[in-house]
Structure 1
Amino acid sequence: MTGAEVPAAVSSFVGRTEELEALAGLTVGARLVTVTGPGGCGKTRLVLEAVRGRPLHGFVELSAVGRHADLALAVLAACGLREEPGRAPLEVLGDRLSGAAGLLVLDTCEHLRREVAALVGALLGRCAALRVIATSRVSLGVDGEAVLPLTGLDPDGSGVVLLLDRARRVQPGLPAGPGTEAVAVEICTLADGLPLAIELAAAHARALPLEGIRDGMADRIGFLARPDAAGVGRHRSLAVSLDWSVGLVGDRARSALRALSVLEGRFPLAAATAVADRAALEELVDHSLVRFDPVDGRYRLLDTVREYAAAHRRPGEADAARRRLLGWAGTFAREVRDGLEHGDQTAVRRVDLADAALRCALEGALEPAGDPAAAAAVAEDLAFGWSLRGRCGEGLGLVQRLAAVLDPVPPGLAWAHAFLAFYSGDMGTSLTVAGRAAEADDPRIRARSLILIGMVQAFADPAAAEPVLSEAAGAAATSGDEWGRVEAVQCRAYTHLFRGQPDEAVRCADGVVAVLDRLGHGQLRAWDAAIRADAAESCGHYPEAVAHGRRGWELAVAVGEPVSAGGALLPLLRALVATGRGDEAARMLEEGLLFLHTHPGLGSAETGHLATAVVASTGPPEAAAQAARSALDAGGQLPHQAAEAALLLAVARLRLQDPDGAREAARTGAERAAVLGHRGLGAAAVLTEAAACRCLGVDAGGAVHEALALLHSLGLRPRVAEGVDGVAASASDAGRAPVAARLHAAAAALREDLGVPPTPLAQLLAPSEAERGPAGAWAEGARLGAGGAVAYALRSRGRRGRPRSGWESLTPTELQVVELVATGRSNAEIGSRLLVSAGTVRTHLRSVFAKLGVTNRVELAAWAVEAGHTGRPGASAARQMFPARGVPSVPRHGPT
């Protein structure tokens, strides 16, 4: 061993802990390790630190050694060894280095690649104990060589530490704090994390604030030079360093580098070879001018290299490269279009990997020599890709710029514009642009544009949106667009959910199951599950709601699409909360909020607020009220969510003993529900407002009876239990303890059948132990069942002003008698169901015969069937009370 020393370091070493460990590990198993990387990435400094304290033959700096020099002689001299007359330098070097184990470091080898490779191969063959570490911008290509690629420092980690350390060496007064560090991160990012670029930037701190350095790096190549012209060789400026690197490759590779400079970010091989020769690309990678990531197979130019190459482009080179890139983008987009429309994850991943190159192709088409018409077709094909990844705003910006320079705007681009505007939350633009696109002759574009029009309308007027969506489904079917057909029908399903018609919503979803099975579309499957979860939850089928909700959530998350994820999350959380699984709901909420935060999309923020309010609704009332208020304030564009949030707020205000606030919130909920035509939510708002009125001493019993009848006719079982409790509370206030007891017991039995604990509203309406009434009445009420409980509750209302004859003249009890007669039951059986005697039933029948002008039970049953007064008990009463879309209203007199 020669006993050489490591050159002294002139500055502190920052970061690179993992790289030091990796280099140490490689030198154990390999006799030649080459540290590669772009100029200025810190290869030499890393090796200096790695070999300190280790047996060293020599540290040989080769940057000043020319191609025609005797390399072995230069190494011999650098190792402090003398020549021997009459012997070749390589022979002497081999003898001296074979005497003992040790390291030989060859620094800056790229310009002498072949010569160094030959020398190292010869030395390793003669010196069994020798190990070599080389630094080079390109690997040496020697058998057995291990390569350690080196990249820049983390701009947010070691890069900032290095910048501030070097800046304070020339400007000790540099202030500390988060603001300084934030600007330092920006500078390091602009420097690509390259230590040379960072140190060159820091040298300006003597005369410039960090903000001035950041702004100066708008011209990185010109700015990143030592202000005092200090430094030697290739390290005195970034431009000189890059000149050195580029000078090592051939003309074809330099031309390829200039062409590749039209690409930003990471790009796939196909995009690279669309603008540059494959062999030239490999040469650029080999010389660390282009980085290759073997994990995802993509390439990248450091921004500093790209800026340098762009500055050296020749006339016409950029335009030609952009045309070739756009041609590739068009072919690529056509290849993935069908996959994107089917939600195929392979296609989505392909778009992810090509995303930056596709964006560059579209941006390039907007240049003066570009082809925006060709780019319009690419944008149309990629619209689903932006949507599935929750990046509609990015796509929308590109589409808007293309539309601005095209006259006329192609119908496909107009649809993409409307589609991306909708999912970006710009409903007005979506409606306007979709209206124009719907005039296209292409039935496929027309169908998809009508879907968007219907979706926008569905939020404000679901009933008006339904015929538009029906037309869209027909047009999609005619054009063979299975995606459009399923999308249109699923949107129709939501118009029914928004109006409280769960059975109709499920029928819609069932109608396209076969088409959906053929499509195999993950996002549309998520929507299907979300629709079924919502319908099941509203009807109290909680196990189904949980199963469908979980499936919809998992499908949406797998696709990474936030809108369908939110659609599945809400009914899932409602079902978990309703069944008393609050801890599970809280865990699901945490997972949901994290996903929606990292995957923003249409309504995801509003959905997050409402989901939080749902989970908080059974907790402390202060937290429940705060969460519900936030959800109500956030639900401006989504009336159905705002209505639900208003009801949650109303109940929370009641729990806080604020009946005035509760009544105001309930009225807000009723107003939002009325806009949608959601009679179920409207009736639920009536129940809640009635509870507030009760606290204020206002009689609202009549409205509660009407609301209960409506809820039962709609099949909304969870709300029915609350309605029965509401009627029971009114009966208790009127001093009818047995009636109240029967109804409270019936409501408890309904909840037991649903498998749910009392809701917060039911808890507020529940009787105290002293108010429970006779035990016998409780037992009777528990046996009523859902239909019997509603029928009994409606009879408890008493007589209202009615005409003397005809169906509308019948009392609620008489209507129930008619419905039971139509089912073939005897007087005794009817009396048992209605908790009255057979004689009382005969009295009711005589009154019915007189009012309807019939003479016997058979004739009465026939009339009932013809008039539709059969089926679910209470349905006929509901039809009488609410023939249209309205909901009962609570009296407005009394305290407000």
Structure 2
Amino acid sequence: MTDGLRVRPGQVRLLGPVELAGPGGAIPLASGARRLLAVLGLRAGEIVGWAQLNAAGLDPVALDRDAAALAGALARGGLRGALQTRASGMRLAGRYVDALRYQDELRRARARRAGGDLAEAISLYDRALTRWRAEGPLDGLALGGWAAAEVKRLSDSRTRAREERWDCVLRRAAEAVRASGAPVADRAAVVAGIEATDAAAAAAAELEAGVAKHPLRERRWELLLTATLLAHGRGAAKSVYERAVRTFADQLGVEPGERLRALAAAAERGDIADAPAPPRPEPRAPRRVAAPPVPLTSLLGRDALLAEIGTALAGHRLVTLVGPGGAGKTRLAIAAAGRQGGPVAWFVDLSVVDRPVRVPAAVAETLGLREDPGLDPVDALAEEVGEHEVLLVLDNCEHLVTGCGELAAQLLERCPALRMLATSRAPLRARDEVVIPVPPLPLPAVAAGHTLAELATHAATRLFLERAQARSGRPVPEGSADAVAQLCAELDGLPLAIELAAARTPLLSVPEIVARIRTDLRLLHSPDPTTPPRHRTVAAAVESSLDQLAPDVRRFFERLAVFAGSFDAVAADAVRAGTTSDPTALDQLVNASLVESNAGRYRLLMPIRRHALARLHADVPAARTAHAAYFLRVAEAADADLRGHAQEAGLARLRADAANLRAAMAWLAEARPIAVPYGDLRLATALAMFCRIEGHYREALGWLCAALARHTRAPALLRGAAAADAAMLAMLLCDYPAAAEYAGAASAAYRALGDRRAEARVELILGSVARERAQYTASAAHLDKAAAIYVECGDELGEARAVQLRGFTAWLAGDFDRAELRLRACRRWFERLGDAEAAASALMNLGAVALYRGDTDRATSLLDAALERYAALGFPEGVGWAHNLRGLVELRTGRADRAEEHLALSLATHRKVGDRWRTASVLEALAEVHRRDDPTRAAELLADAGRIRDEIGAPVPACERPDTEATAAALRAALGDGTPLPARALIPPV
């Protein structure tokens, strides 16, 4: 406030030279800031994306500098905060922009005009038009792309607004002239008639200038003829019409349109009633032209999506189906149009239109409207639609986004009952647009044992089965069911790719197609010469999208092919490697439907990725090395979390990137790039703990063993860490000699380096090896030594883990009092330290103690809590252990059926991860389950467990011996009648 008066905020002026006006006058603007202000002002109130800013002709390198300069100028003009920067682009507040105020006043004027309030309409038109300070918007400023189209739209809007104002003036004049035909005593009517004549004369003078400027704009001739009739009579009006006829004949070689001819005939009769406004055609139904084509094949798996489209069209007037090339957008749009029972549906294929500015003319031509150079195609379309209910389907808009968005905005504003359905690989970015993504078709899981009947319930595989039979004339063999599921997964459910693969079935079996599709991109090629070029191959569909992007964005797309799964924006930046400095490159690829986006993660559909990889060519080594280096950093950072207090965060990150980590491992092992020294050994070590938690023991141990063999001269600290992890994994796989050998190598390396904490970790592993071999005294010695070292190092978490393992060893040895004391202490420790996995293990071990003490209720409670936590972590080793112990609880309580359920789940988990020690114990428990109902099977189970124990060198744990001996004794008694038994079925007492 100043002197009690509010300072008037500034204004952004686009209707003339671009200006930023503050309370004290114009604010000086640098050239770049002025251009940025103009571009943002054209879409004031909306976020203008980085790609759109570039498309408008702004310099991306100078954008930050120009934005800073503009923000400062806005602040000086009293508009601080009007410029907002977002992750997706920039936004200028709309309430300060004259173009938006002009458009608002224009809408209100048109509403008054439609309602018959001509005086108020003229006032609003005048207010809107006085905002113009020059003939054209952004006077003297050249912009490109969509911004140039927006400037033209504004300019055309002013032309139409003038014509609409003249129409209002002439309607009022006509009404006054008709009223002046009253008796002469009615002086008011006479005066009104005189004033109306003067108004018509003034309008005629202005319209003469307007016709001179736009001699082929038929609407101006109509208005001029009307004004001349009202002001100067029939003879003058006839002269205007004759001039119009000569103009159209000389310049176009055609006669004027029907409306102007009808108006001239009315003027010849002196019929003022028809003269002011063009005669309105009689209401009629819109023509049923350009109807959607009738599809030749059924639409599969899209019922829910069709319902969503129908709901969107019921509540919104512009709906755009967006998805990658070959996703089936056109087919969906045709089906959705067919479901719209009320409106007439018009279908326009824009695939052959080459420029955005050609969109209105192309649509008008498809609809069979006369192409009149004197009549804007948008006007012709708006006139044809009028107030009728029409659904206009614009197909293949991706290369014409600006033109389609502009046409939609104009038609929807002028045709109140019109609805539009568009298909595109990128949104039209029009106001009030509803975007519906079109995803690939749903897929079945890739697994063995599929049947054709089951595959027919999934849209992707059903599509392949139907199209393959149609192509080859015979059904797919039942034996190829698994190959069909695998093929559709390789094609990521993309309908175009599936149909192209099905087209090969006359010559190739499904397994042969699967084998060739990974290496031969030419396989997915339509043999039908009538197929549109963009749909003849997946490559053509991808290339048609890439053609709309800048070369540097295309190079960036190629590099994204090195990602084996989904990735985030940081990972994408890591492989960018100088391909582009455009911060919106990834967004552009998403908008082009070349990259999928979901909750901050991105991915390329497999057929698109294969094409990108084919384009990458010689850049593959550099891109894959950058990819591997990045994921090595990710793994090393997450490994520190897994070995510390932040397990859940580390697990989440590594699980999200599991496919990329495996791809990085393969590349580092194969290429061993100099840029990433010892990369395979480092990554194998960094992933060891993750693989232990996930249950991938064999895979991780294989990586470590191979990398250690390749890098015999790696730094001692790295080799020691790798050997320690190899020892841990070998122990989990029950290869105790290998575990001891790797642990010895790790211990020697750590002693030489003086790394006491690492020595303690090796002692934990040696203690576990001894525990599984039932060497409980030796195990306790190793674990006590580890605990002492951790105390020496001040490592509280390490000490807690050593104490827990000591409790674990104690209950397996049958020392339940010592076990409970230690396990209670470490449980509180882990809860306080936030180690979720170790806390769950403490619960499980306490549950085991309660079980062997006979407290089955407490055991059930503790083990159920542990099972829930393990399941939440996704830790299969813990899940298997908890089910094992829960099965034993059920056995103790006489519920053999429930025991079998738990033990079966435990057995499957332990076999999957490779833990043969626990597998043997579960088999022994299952033998007890079946001892009474099927003693022969029970004996076989016991024999299998015995063979495993012989092979791994691990006897029955002490706490389990009484149960196992009792089972064996009972089976000897039950089968003592001479029934032949498998070897070792009748095991001797342990």
Q: TM-score, normalised by structure 2?
A: 0.62
User: Which runs of 5 or more structure 2 residues have no equivalent in the other structure?
Assistant: 1-285, 445-457, 577-581
Deviation at 1:113, TM superposition (A): 0.9
Q: Distance in 2 between matches of 1:68 and 1:553?
A: 61
Other-structure match for 1:647: 965
> Are 1:159 and 1:193, in contact at CA under 8 Å, matched by a contact in 2?
yes
Deviation at 1:116, TM superposition (A): 0.8
Q: Distance in 2 between matches of 1:486 and 1:220?
A: 56
Deviation at 1:185, TM superposition (A): 1.7
Deviation at 1:12, TM superposition (A): 3.0
Deviation at 1:597, TM superposition (A): 8.1
Equivalent of residue 403 in structure 1, options 708, 711, 717 = 708
Q: How does 1:180-579 map to 2 (within 5 A)?
A: 180-227=480-527, 231-276=531-576, 278-294=583-599, 297-313=600-616, 315-316=618-619, 318-320=621-623, 322-323=625-626, 326-327=629-630, 329-330=632-633, 333-334=636-637, 337-342=640-645, 344-366=647-669, 367-369=671-673, 371-374=676-679, 376-409=681-714, 410=718, 411-439=720-748, 440=750, 441=753, 442-460=755-773, 461-510=775-824, 512=826, 515-579=829-893
Cα deviation, 1:42-71, whole Å, max 9, x if unaligned, reads: 111121222225333411111101116621
CA change 1:541–1:164 in 2 (3 A) is closer
Deviation at 1:209, TM superposition (A): 2.1
Other-structure match for 1:3: 288
> Are 2:562 and 2:623, in contact at CA under 8 Å, matched by a contact in 1?
no
Aligned length: 668
Other-structure match for 2:348: 60
> Are 1:427 and 1:456, in contact at CA under 8 Å, matched by a contact in 2?
yes
Deviation at 1:519, TM superposition (A): 2.7
SS of the residue 1:266 aligns to? coil
Q: Distance in 2 between matches of 1:53 and 1:529?
A: 59
Cα deviation, 1:706-756, whole Å, max 9, x if unaligned, reads: xxxxxxxxxxxxxxxxxxxxxxxxxxxxxxxxxxxxxxxxxxxxxxxxxxx
Deviation at 1:196, TM superposition (A): 1.1
Q: Distance in 1 between matches of 2:642 and 2:429?
A: 42
Aligned-pair identity in percent equals 29
Q: Distance in 1 between matches of 2:354 and 2:612?
A: 26
Q: How does 1:47-86 map to 2 (within 5 A)?
A: 47-54=333-340, 55-67=343-355, 70-84=358-372, 86=374
Deviation at 1:581, TM superposition (A): 5.4
Deviation at 1:373, TM superposition (A): 2.4
Q: Distance in 2 between matches of 1:35 and 1:582?
A: 56
Report the AA paired with residue 309 of structure 1: A
> Are 1:220 and 1:304, in contact at CA under 8 Å, matched by a contact in 2?
no
Q: Distance in 2 between matches of 1:500 and 1:659?
A: 35
CA change 1:154–1:645 in 2 (3 A) is farther
SS of the residue 1:422 aligns to? helix
SS of the residue 1:341 aligns to? coil
CA change 1:625–1:337 in 2 (3 A) is same
Report the AA paired with residue 355 of structure 2: R
> Are 1:653 and 1:659, in contact at CA under 8 Å, matched by a contact in 2?
no
Cα deviation, 1:316-349, whole Å, max 9, x if unaligned, reads: 4641563365246415632562355336323322
Q: Distance in 1 between matches of 2:583 and 2:967?
A: 64
Deviation at 1:283, TM superposition (A): 0.8
Other-structure match for 2:989: 670
> Are 2:732 and 2:915, in contact at CA under 8 Å, matched by a contact in 1?
yes
> Are 1:527 and 1:567, in contact at CA under 8 Å, matched by a contact in 2?
no
Q: Distance in 1 between matches of 2:882 and 2:556?
A: 49
Cα deviation, 1:666-709, whole Å, max 9, x if unaligned, reads: 983633xxxxxxxxxxxxxxxxxxxxxxxxxxxxxxxxxxxxxx
SS of the residue 2:616 aligns to? coil
CA change 1:76–1:601 in 2 (3 A) is farther
Q: Distance in 2 between matches of 1:141 and 1:172?
A: 45
Deviation at 1:402, TM superposition (A): 3.2
Which structure has more relative contact order (CA 8 Å, sep 6+)? It is 1
Q: Distance in 1 between matches of 2:908 and 2:984?
A: 29
Farther-moved stretch of structure 1 (598-607 vs 342-351): 598-607
Deviation at 1:298, TM superposition (A): 1.3
Q: Distance in 2 between matches of 1:266 and 1:663?
A: 50
Other-structure match for 1:797: none
Say if 2:472 is the partner of 1:171.
yes
Q: Distance in 2 between matches of 1:414 and 1:109?
A: 58
Cα deviation, 1:1-50, whole Å, max 9, x if unaligned, reads: 33232202133322222222222222122211111111111111121222
Say if 2:334 is the partner of 1:31.
no
> Are 1:166 and 1:203, in contact at CA under 8 Å, matched by a contact in 2?
yes
CA change 1:430–1:608 in 2 (3 A) is same
Other-structure match for 1:159: 460
CA RMSD for the aligned pairs?
3.3
Report the AA paired with residue 237 of structure 1: T
Farther-moved stretch of structure 1 (21-30 vs 100-109): 21-30
Deviation at 1:255, TM superposition (A): 1.9
Q: Distance in 1 between matches of 2:912 and 2:424?
A: 40
CA change 1:571–1:242 in 2 (3 A) is closer
SS of the residue 1:438 aligns to? helix
CA change 1:81–1:360 in 2 (3 A) is same
CA change 1:220–1:28 in 2 (3 A) is farther
Other-structure match for 1:700: none
Farther-moved stretch of structure 1 (621-630 vs 359-368): 621-630
Report the AA paired with residue 34 of structure 1: T
> Are 1:459 and 1:640, in contact at CA under 8 Å, matched by a contact in 2?
no
Q: Distance in 2 between matches of 1:425 and 1:95?
A: 82
SS of the residue 1:640 aligns to? coil
SS of the residue 1:70 aligns to? helix
Farther-moved stretch of structure 1 (328-337 vs 248-257): 328-337
Farther-moved stretch of structure 1 (283-292 vs 78-87): 78-87
Deviation at 1:580, TM superposition (A): 4.2
Report the AA paired with residue 563 of structure 2: L
CA change 1:665–1:634 in 2 (3 A) is closer
Deviation at 1:468, TM superposition (A): 2.4
Cα deviation, 1:762-792, whole Å, max 9, x if unaligned, reads: xxxxxxxxxxxxxxxxxxxxxxxxxxxxxxx
CA change 1:149–1:633 in 2 (3 A) is farther
Say if 2:397 is the partner of 1:109.
yes
Farther-moved stretch of structure 1 (359-368 vs 97-106): 359-368
Farther-moved stretch of structure 1 (496-505 vs 186-195): 496-505
User: Which runs of 5 or more structure 1 residues have no equivalent in the other structure?
Assistant: 672-896
Q: How does 1:539-688 map to 2 (within 5 A)?
A: 539-580=853-894, 585=899, 605-606=919-920, 608-613=922-927, 615-616=929-930, 637=952, 639-640=955-956, 643=961, 646-647=964-965, 649-653=967-971, 656=974, 658=976, 668=987, 670-671=989-990
Other-structure match for 1:19: 305
CA change 1:365–1:532 in 2 (3 A) is same
Deviation at 1:480, TM superposition (A): 3.9
SS of the residue 1:59 aligns to? strand
Other-structure match for 1:824: none
> Are 1:425 and 1:602, in contact at CA under 8 Å, matched by a contact in 2?
yes
Moved beyond 6 Å, runs of 4+: 593-600, 659-667
Report the AA paired with residue 287 of structure 1: A
> Are 2:800 and 2:829, in contact at CA under 8 Å, matched by a contact in 1?
yes
Report the AA paired with residue 670 of structure 1: P
Deviation at 1:572, TM superposition (A): 3.7
